[in-house]
Amino acid sequence: MAGVAVDTGSGERLLLEHVGCPICGRTDGEPIGVGEDFEYRTAPDTFLAMRCRDCTVLYLDPRPAPDEMGRIYPDEYHAFDFTESEFGVIHKVRSRLEARRLLKCIGDVPPDARVIDVGCGDGFHLDLLRRYGRSTWSLEGVDLDPRAAAAARRRGLTVHEGTVEALGLPEAAYDVAFMIQTIEHVADPATVLRAVSRLLKPGGRLIVVTDNTGSPDFRVFRRRHWGGYHFPRHFSLFNDRSIRKLAGRTGLEVVGVETIVSPVNWVYSIRNLLDDYGAPEGLVSHFTLSSPAALSVFTVFDTAFTMAGKGALIRAELRRPA
């Protein structure tokens, strides 16, 4: 999937590259959403979310070239530092909920289990496993971004800085791997899944959590403002069908796929819409990760959809064949 540079990168424009479907490589996708970096305004460009006519996966095409990562992930990017001091009560509530989910996923693993979180960001999830899980587990994280890795290390976590494909981590060594809201960010999801699969012991499990394009929030906002687009940082976006297809392509078995509750895409879709149409900052700021009211309302809202199998996030449990 070598990209072709389509911009000289001068001035403020992003250097872009063309790509095809991340699963099958087809290049004649159907344009679904067209929008901008509403959240961070890192670039003046407009981005296009294409849907593969076979795989139904959504992908950004063209997308920022690898050289632009430092720019599209600015220093204030939330995944680098979701700290308690910054986010207060929301941090507490989210921590409890996430911890319960993680432990449920991890299930029955041996006391000496080795667990890896690929795309660990500031180490939020690893920290929860450390606090609420067994103290005998060995926990490690991987993140490409030095700022994220540094934030996680400040929490006293073990973090490998680089890409999982290139780090040379021990193969067939891990019991469980997590990719929590990571797969949508990576340039080549199939290569990453294969690499993670190699790290797993035979029968070891990979839990993938990502935005769900089979959800009502996607349907309502897909033309432009959907929070899950996170233009231009989400390169591939999945639904039940496409995540299964990707797993199949990479030799992983699908144990199960389900949807889970998240208010975030609802809240950010509304935020993006308000921001796009020039709503006053005072109103826009009520629809972010630091607005308890909006997050609570949409948690209730999305719970109803999740019960109908259409939650805002999708969670796939995959397994390296024994």
Which residues of this chain interact with other proteins, rule CB under 8 A?
Answer: 4-7, 11-14, 16, 18, 20, 27-28, 30-31, 33-35, 43-48, 61-62, 223-225, 277
Query: What is the residue-wise DSSP string for 43-74?
Result: -S--EEEEE-TTT--EEESSEE-GGGHHHHS-
Shortest separation between residue 302's beta carbon and other proteins, angstroms = 23
Helix 84-106 with 292-307: angle, nearest 10 deg: 20
How far apart, in Å, are the Cα atoms of 212 and each of 46, 164, 216, 257, 313?
A: 22, 24, 9, 11, 5
CB of 233 to other proteins, least distance (A): 16
Residue 48 C-beta: closest distance to other proteins, Å: 4
| CB closer to other proteins out of 13 and 201 | 13
* Closer residue to other proteins, CB minimum distance, 3 or 119: 3
| Nearer to other proteins among residue 92 and residue 219 (C-beta) | 219
The CA distance from 94 to 13, in Å, is 36
Write down the least CB distance from residue 63 to other proteins, Å.
Answer: 10
Please, are residues 51 and 29 in contact by the beta-carbon 8 Å criterion? yes
Between the CA of residue 251 and those of 70, 193, 194, 258, 322, what are the distances in Å? 32, 9, 8, 20, 12
The sign of the dihedral angle between the CA atoms of 87, 215, 107, 170 is negative
- For residues 232 and 29, what is the distance between their CA atoms, to the nearest angstrom? 17
Pick 44 or 203: Cβ nearer other proteins: 44
Minimum distance between the CB of residue 144 and other proteins, rounded to whole angstroms?
A: 24
- To the nearest whole angstrom, how small is the minimum distance from the Cβ of residue 62 to other proteins? 5
- Considering the complex, state which of residue 147 and residue 224 has its C-beta at the smaller distance from other proteins: 224
Token pair 């969670």 is found at 315
Which residue, 9 or 162, has its beta carbon nearer to other proteins?
9
